[in-house]
Amino acid sequence: MYLSKSNTIRSIAILFLLFSSLFFLNTAAFAQTTSSPYSRYGIGEIGGKGFGQGFALGGTYIAMQNDSVQMFFINNGNPASYTNMRLVTAELGANYNRVQLESAAAKTTINNASLAYISLAFPIKKWWGASVGLVPFSAVGYKVSDEQVITNVGTVNYLYEGTGGINQVYFGNGLKPLYNLPRKYQQSSKYATLRSLKRIDNTLKSCHELFADNQELRKALNRKKFLQSLSLGVNASYLFGNMENTRRSIFPASIFAFNTRVGTNTRVDGLYFDYGMQMAYVIDSVSYKDKADTCRPVKYRDLKENVKVLFGITFASQTSMGSSIDSVSYSYFNNSVGNEIIKDTIENTQGTKGKITLPLSFGFGIGFKKGDKWLIAADFAFQNWSSYSSFGQSQELKNSMRTSIGAQFIPDPRPNASYLKRVHYRLGLRYMQTALELKNTPLNEYGFVIGFGFPVGRSFILQNFSMVNIGAELGQRGTVTNGLIKENYLKVSIGFTINDRWFQKPKFD
């Protein structure tokens, strides 16, 4: 007798379709994930890569990859990681932000919540995995006022406001081009010769020569396994969205001057590609010398828990995307009930075509895993924002740099262990030199993250697993020096990860 597909499979499919429809119908709300006054520059605040697990590791993701054991997580930041998916995996999440904006004269606190991401990944072959998802690429959301007293004019209130952002729909693939390399080597005549020591005439070879042959075989096989771990991946993305920015000049004390409003609405759509590479080296034994054995002086002791060293690289080339802009400027006054009454239209230009150039970026990461308990990883990433331009105009942005480190600990990953010992405990630190330098003052950002992964609904018979990922980041961006604004923020992320086995009908008697 055959079992039909599990209810979990149907749940994943329904959730994916439901949330995808919701996101596409309400992309403006999806992109509105920030309250930072600094999102008025460039294309706004750039969204972080990685989902629930990566967020709690301080945004560390470049070298992160799944093992052949559950749980499986989606790492959209490096598409090479898709090759290690063994179960169909769905991820969806939401964010809550509490930001305190502080200037030299005042403080204010803003709260917002938003949907964060939805993604699905699935194995195609043992050497091929893929993922599809919808995530925010950038977000614009600010409202800032500045009061100045100008000679012969009086008090002028400047109000800056922006909304919107860019969304990203991606389809990624990861491949292992050298997946069968160790097996082919083991089927080769050279390997057979080294393995078949009985065929070798001991009168022609000493024990030291035989030992050297075995050493050569061991090292060669390890090299093949290392090369087999090579994963290459690419995300093909469609970026779309709009960013609305307005600037008002208000003259509250003058009855002769009209207020002015300058507004732009920029629409963006185009293709964007980012690439990734990953490799892993497994250390399963350590060598030691046995002085008593003159024939085999070097021996190996198996480690109780394997140590895996992870390497990763990401890259995205400079990309130009098509865009159009509507510009409307006018003077106005407010009537007795506060409504705007337009006096004169200064500019009304619709649908001006142009290009937005996104910069080159690259990064590399390294990680260490000890069995299934310990994981430590670190990233370094660079983005060439000095090359950014919009409609042929540069905003004089600076090159940005990000470093992060994260750690995860599982006290006892065995399925029969107590619940608290199966929880994933995570910590992360990150530092970023942003692309902004205002009034000769660089704007830097740093944060500290703590997170947990709570396993729920594990079934090793049906091969479906679920986890709730919760992370909280305390951080700071900017400074009050030179009249700038400092942001102190709390960001909470909650995500859901579901693993299941698809397209297989288990049997039972």
The residue behind tokens 């500045």 is 146
* Coil/strand/helix, residue 117: strand
Containing domain of residue 162, as a range?
7-176+229-404+460-474+485-500
Q: Are 162 and 208 in contact (CB under 8 A)?
A: no
Residue 30 has a pLDDT of 53
Q: Encode 142-183 in three state secondary structure.
A: EEEEEEEEECCCEEEEEEEEEEEEEEEEEEEEEECCCCCHHH
- Please tell me the predicted confidence (pLDDT) of residue 266: 94
pLDDT value of residue 182: 87
Any domain includes 433: no
Residue 425 lies in a domain: no
- Would you say 122 and 88 are in contact if contact means Cβ atoms under 8 Å apart? yes
Q: Residue 46, Cα to own-chain centre: how many angstroms?
A: 11
Q: How many whole angstroms separate alpha carbon 460 and alpha carbon 453?
A: 18
Q: Does the CA dihedral 484-325-385-237 come out positive or negative?
A: positive
Instruction: Specify the pLDDT at position 240.
Output: 93
Query: Does residue 438 form part of some domain?
Result: no
DSSP state, 387? G
Please give the helix or strand (H or E) that residue 118 lies within, else none: strand 107-125
CB atoms within 10 A of CB 305: 12
CA-nearest of 399, 373, 428 to 61 is: 428
DSSP label of 417: S
The CA distance from 289 to 283, in Å, is 18
| pLDDT at residue 2, rounded to an integer | 36
pLDDT attached to residue 464: 67
> Count of alpha carbons within 13 Å of 430, Cβ hemisphere only?
31
Do the strands 340-358 and 389-390 form a parallel or antiparallel pair, or are they unpaired? antiparallel
d(CA 470, CA 53): 9
What is the CA angle 444-448-454, rounded to 5?
145
Residue 204 within any structural domain of the chain: no
C-alpha 265/C-alpha 310 separation (Å) is: 44
The end-to-end CA distance of the chain, in Å, is 7
**Residues 197 and 103: beta-carbon distance below 8 Å:** no
Indicate whether 453 belongs to any domain: no
327, burial (CB in 10 Å: exposed 0-12, middle 13-18, buried 19+)? middle
Q: Is 428 within the bounds of a domain?
A: no
pLDDT at 398: 93
What is the pTM (predicted TM-score) of this model?
A: 0.86
Report how far apart, in Å, the C-alpha atoms of 91 and of each of 77, 341, 465 are.
14, 48, 12
> Which of 191-226 are b and which e, b meaning 16 or more Cβ less than 10 Å from the residue's Cβ?
beebeeeeeeeeeeeeeeebbebeeebeebbeebbb
Is residue 492 domain-resident? yes
* Residue 31 DSSP code: H
CATH of the domain at 151: 2.40.160
Question: pLDDT digit of tens for each residue in the chain (509 aa)?
Answer: 333 444 444 455 545 554 555 455 455 445 456 888 899 999 999 988 889 899 999 999 999 999 877 789 999 999 999 999 988 999 999 999 999 999 888 888 999 888 889 999 999 999 999 999 999 999 999 988 887 877 777 788 889 999 999 999 999 999 999 998 888 888 888 777 766 654 445 455 566 665 666 677 778 888 888 999 999 999 999 999 999 999 998 888 777 778 899 999 999 999 999 999 999 999 887 877 877 777 777 777 888 888 999 999 999 999 999 999 999 999 988 887 778 888 888 889 998 999 999 999 999 999 999 988 999 999 999 999 999 999 888 888 999 999 999 999 999 988 888 999 999 999 999 999 999 999 889 999 999 999 999 998 766 555 568 899 999 999 999 999 888 899 999 999 999 999 887 755 555 54
Q: What is the structure's pLDDT at 494?
A: 94
Residues 6+ apart with CB under 8 A from 472: 449, 450, 451, 490, 491, 492, 493
Q: Which residue has the tokens 């690439």?
A: 275
CA atoms of 210 and 295, how far apart (whole Å): 9
Contact indicator for 372, 413 with CB cutoff of 8 Å: yes
Cα gap 343→257, rounded to integer Å: 11
Cβ atoms of 490 and 449 within 8 Å: the answer is no
Whole-angstrom distance, CA of residue 446 vs CA of residue 487: 11
> Max CA-CA distance within the chain?
111
**Number of domains present in the structure of the chain:** 1
Which region holds residue 50: left if phi is over 0, alpha if psi is between -120 and 50, else beta?
left
- Other C-beta atoms closer than 10 Å to the C-beta of 22 total 15
Contact 488, 102 (CB under 8 A): yes
In a domain, 452, yes or no: no
